A and B are shown apart, each in its own frame.
Chain A
């Protein structure tokens, strides 16, 4: 294996983070099915597809368990070898989950589900770019910018959508705020105060989502573009890491609130709610390492050098 092209550390680290996000998501989905929290697809099977079987619930649960086991196996395989067919299937499965949620309309705002799941099914695609990209001379230079662009899209989209749901006063979010304040800080809170906080969260979510979607990144505006404006480039270097840490931190806090909202002790089957959102906190971290760690410089054929701050 001497001829192997060295994978740059940024890409290797991001790939590792995303593989962890995928295996956590798969394990959590597996766990939730086996603790009797039906998946969206399973619910859809029960309600629509298996509808006129003698025992639609058992049939749906059976298929659900098979699918989720295959999904977990595929995710385990991906940790060791992120093969692109597996990644397409994983992304397809997660998308099918979110699309079933839309079809089921079994809860408020279910029509937002595919959008809210955006990062979860984009994560395998980012990983695919990171895996396949460095293998070919033609795509090597594009690996990092394309992965970053996809991550920006997914993370920005998730924050934007959650901002919208917060703005529309998602009752689940209201209760997460009230519950978290009660359980963690022993502060009683009424609904209107929680709604006010929620509106504030919505605005912050939108601002960071827009900042992320708009901050021009290769290939839309390559680093070479930034190098022409040294002051702006310096400001960007300073601003992007805190932005990404905020995104990762907030992704983790909101995922954790699924545990703190209902109160202690946390039941075993509540953890999937924290874990299925793994990409919400690991995704921004992956974007961060891509931003900060060296790219492909020795093998790149870019005209201008890579981001100037990147240490070698």
Chain B
């Protein structure tokens, strides 16, 4: 588009001097951006690594969904195709002596992980093996060894959730993608947070599960998720091989269909929104902020809340994108808030765990868009599981705590209260609060009044 230097040129619109002034800083900035783009392309390759073909089970892990008291999926990975994949199970330790385990199950779903081109090129071929266990006994330790084509894992164990009124603890974490030290670093922040959770599991054996608020990796692709699973199985597992069960939510970085391979479950009829009975008194509702929030999911949520509120002492919600964000724009989150918060308030959800904004967050008790100490609902979390943390501290009317720490939340749930603590990487308690209001009683009372008025 350069003008030719011919005399035919009519008096042109000369590029004004202001344009030249503007161009001066823009040129270097754009050049810098281009350099960054290309540098990151090189950097982004580091996690594509060849996996030596082996039947040796890795990534041994356990997942809970609707009924952690009775059901679990145990999954593992091999780096070559194997024909015989078995899980040996017992309620007491057998130290890997396969003949002593009373039962064993063949993998019900064995499949090769979907590979993208870079992963194929690097040779990251791997196979997933999954056993769905039901009829498990509540609050019971299960010991297991998995074997693929004769290669056995160590013995691991996990504990099912109780189905009675006893006290429980849960761990909550979110946003464990792209740690600052790199995806494959042995000491990266994700592994540090995992190790913190393993330590907590050792000191608090009544921890039922780790609730993950989503954003596991950047893309939910094998080249990245391989490392997530590796970090999870290597560093969330206790020194005595107790597995920390995962209850997963789906984040905006997890929308690729491959997530279903990493968190396989025999009947995922709904897209990562479901209830999970953490104990006889507590139900968690996992929501998916990445699909329609006002459609089927909202209808389902309302049905579940109407059904569960009279039955359960505690109703918790976990969702990825926050209703009350700590770093992103409050108003930009309106579509999410409008869809669900009115239901949370009408049915009396007790607390909402959120992720996505990468800070440590707790709101004041909020009810109908205002701070309300009596009826307000606390939204906490915001994802500190390994992703770089955002600088916090912007004043928002609803924020009670907004800090910059990698962290996990530990909640102790009793008949009277939920006591929630945020714990930073150095083991410090960086937030501490309690939820005590009996919203079930409140709801039942209000329903009664409503009925008698009609």
Residues of A within 8 A of B (CB): 1, 3-5, 32, 35-38, 41, 44-49, 51-52, 55-58, 61, 63, 66-67, 70, 73-74, 77, 80-86, 89, 92-93, 96, 105-108, 128, 131-132, 135-138, 171-172, 174-175, 178-179, 182, 190-192, 194, 261-263, 267-270
CB distance from B358 to the nearest CB of A (A): 7
Contact string, B331-365, partner A, CB cutoff 8 A, digits 1/0?
Answer: 11011001100000000000000000010000000
The reply to whether A77 and B18 contact each other, CB–CB distance below 8 Å, is yes
List of B residues within 8 angstroms of A178 by Cβ: 292, 294-295
List of A residues within 8 angstroms of B375 by Cβ: none
The reply to whether A3 and B10 contact each other, CB–CB distance below 8 Å, is yes
Contact string, B11-46, partner A, CB cutoff 8 A, digits 1/0?
Answer: 111011011001101100110010011011001100
Q: Point out the residue from B219, B327, B334 that lies within 8 Å of A263, measured CB to CB.
A: B334
Interchain Cβ contacts under 8 Å between A and B, 5 examples: A35-B332, A61-B391, A70-B25, A89-B23, A89-B30
Q: Taking each of B11, B180, B218, B335, which has the highest tally of chain A beta carbons within 10 Å of its own beta carbon?
A: B335
Given contacts A51-B388, A89-B23, 6 further A-B contacts (CB under 8 A): A1-B11, A37-B332, A74-B26, A85-B19, A178-B294, A191-B296
Assuming the contacts A56-B180, A77-B16, asked whether A49 and B39 have C-beta atoms less than 8 A apart, the reply is yes
The reply to whether B388 and A57 contact each other, CB–CB distance below 8 Å, is yes
Q: How far is the CA of A83 from the CA of B40 in the complex (A)?
A: 32
Mostly, the A contact residues are helix
Q: How far is the CA of A137 from the CA of B10 in the complex (A)?
A: 9
The reply to whether A83 and B19 contact each other, CB–CB distance below 8 Å, is yes
The reply to whether B33 and A41 contact each other, CB–CB distance below 8 Å, is yes
List of B residues within 8 angstroms of A1 by Cβ: 11
Residues of B within 8 A of A (CB): 1, 3-4, 8-13, 15-16, 18-19, 22-23, 25-26, 29-30, 33, 36-37, 39-40, 43-44, 178, 180-182, 218-219, 252-253, 255-256, 290-296, 299, 327-332, 334-335, 338-339, 358, 388-391, 394
CB distance from A269 to the nearest CB of B (A): 4
CB distance from B41 to the nearest CB of A (A): 9
Top 8 closest A-B pairs, CB basis? A267-B331, A191-B295, A57-B390, A262-B334, A83-B15, A178-B294, A49-B36, A269-B331
Q: How far is the CA of A28 from the CA of B19 in the complex (A)?
A: 21
Assuming the contacts A4-B11, A57-B389, A57-B390, asked whether A171 and B23 have C-beta atoms less than 8 A apart, the reply is no
Assuming the contacts A4-B10, A81-B16, A178-B294, asked whether A52 and B338 have C-beta atoms less than 8 A apart, the reply is no
Q: Taking each of B256, B328, B338, which has the highest tally of chain A beta carbons within 10 Å of its own beta carbon?
A: B338
The reply to whether B3 and A132 contact each other, CB–CB distance below 8 Å, is yes
List of B residues within 8 angstroms of A138 by Cβ: 4, 8
Chain A: CB-nearest residue to B27: A89
Q: How far is the CA of A268 from the CA of B219 in the complex (A)?
A: 31
Q: How far is the CA of A49 from the CA of B36 in the complex (A)?
A: 6
Chain A: CB-nearest residue to B334: A262
The reply to whether B29 and A66 contact each other, CB–CB distance below 8 Å, is yes
Assuming the contacts A47-B178, A263-B334, asked whether A135 and B12 have C-beta atoms less than 8 A apart, the reply is yes
List of A residues within 8 angstroms of B391 by Cβ: 55, 57-58, 61
Q: How far is the CA of A63 from the CA of B28 in the complex (A)?
A: 12
Assuming the contacts A81-B15, A191-B296, asked whether A51 and B339 have C-beta atoms less than 8 A apart, the reply is no
Q: Taking each of B178, B218, B292, which has the highest tally of chain A beta carbons within 10 Å of its own beta carbon?
A: B292
Assuming the contacts A36-B394, A73-B22, A174-B295, asked whether A67 and B180 have C-beta atoms less than 8 A apart, the reply is no
Q: How far is the CA of A142 from the CA of B239 in the complex (A)?
A: 75
List of B residues within 8 angstroms of A269 by Cβ: 329-332
The reply to whether B1 and A270 contact each other, CB–CB distance below 8 Å, is no
List of B residues within 8 angstroms of A96 by Cβ: 33
Chain B: CB-nearest residue to A49: B36
Q: How far is the CA of A48 from the CA of B44 in the complex (A)?
A: 8
Q: How far is the CA of A98 from the CA of B182 in the complex (A)?
A: 25
Chain B: CB-nearest residue to A36: B329
Q: How far is the CA of A3 from the CA of B182 in the complex (A)?
A: 63
List of A residues within 8 angstroms of B330 by Cβ: 267, 269
The reply to whether A128 and B22 contact each other, CB–CB distance below 8 Å, is no
Q: How far is the CA of A182 from the CA of B295 in the complex (A)?
A: 12
Q: Point out the residue from A3, A51, A132 that lies within 8 Å of B180, measured CB to CB.
A: A51
Assuming the contacts A57-B391, A135-B10, A190-B295, asked whether A52 and B335 have C-beta atoms less than 8 A apart, the reply is no
List of B residues within 8 angstroms of A86 by Cβ: 19, 22-23
CB distance from A237 to the nearest CB of B (A): 32
List of B residues within 8 angstroms of A108 by Cβ: 252, 255, 290
Q: How far is the CA of A51 from the CA of B188 in the complex (A)?
A: 12
The reply to whether B332 and A270 contact each other, CB–CB distance below 8 Å, is yes
Chain B: CB-nearest residue to A182: B294
Chain A: CB-nearest residue to B181: A52
CB distance from A46 to the nearest CB of B (A): 7
List of A residues within 8 angstroms of B335 by Cβ: 172, 175, 179, 261-262
Q: How far is the CA of A137 from the CA of B292 in the complex (A)?
A: 54
